[in-house]
Amino acid sequence: MDYKFKWSIHNRSLDFIFILALLCVFAFGSLMAVILGANVYKGIKENMDSNFEFRTPLSYIGTKVRQSDVIDSIRIVEKEGVDALVLEQPEGGEICQTWIYEYQGSLYEVYIEKGTPFLLEEGLAIIPSYGLEFDLKGNLLDIKTKDHNGKTRGLSLSFRTSQGGGSQ
């Protein structure tokens, strides 16, 4: 009888250790799943932020350019050492200009009557910007933007109307 009692206690100890080990394996597996999930989420969020930083300014500028696609209405002007995209459009008998540029880490826009003096800081800050470049060659406008990691993406726009000449 005494032998069975010892065997029963020993069996229960092994059962307890087995259950405890199984619980530890489950807890470790759950912890690893949470850590991996957090890393995947971090990567997805990083990609989404980067895509936002690329697509938003490119889409915004592309839309503005398409709206102003008339003969000789688009040019690049340097002001205070900053390249700005200048879009001209007639409004109420006057020529108005939309200036789009990067200044102090933001994409800025200012809408003025042609010839009106202004300072770069007087524009409206639209979104954060980490780098913006314009290049206008004939009928093609290249826009390059950077994200917070320094990666560069661009957009090339071909005008429906000819810049510096007649309609195509």
pLDDT in tens, 145-154: 999 888 999 9
Say if residue 38 is exposed, middle or buried (CB neighbours under 10 Å; 0-12, 13-18, 19+): exposed
pLDDT tier, 5 (very low <50, low <70, confident <90, very high otherwise): low
Q: What is the pLDDT of residue 70?
A: 84
Nearest in space to 164 (alpha carbons), one of 70, 72, 74, 69: 72
Number of independent structural domains in the chain: 1
Using DSSP, state whether 68 is helix, strand or coil: coil
What is the mean predicted confidence (pLDDT) over 5-25? 79
Domain span holding position 82: 1-168
Q: What is the pLDDT of residue 92?
A: 86
Q: What predicted TM-score, i.e. pTM, was given to this entire model? A: 0.75
What single letter denotes the amino acid at residue 98? T
Beta strands in the chain (DSSP E): 74-79, 82-91, 94-103, 106-113, 124-128, 132-137, 140-146, 152-158
Distance CA(10)–CA(137), nearest Å, equals: 86
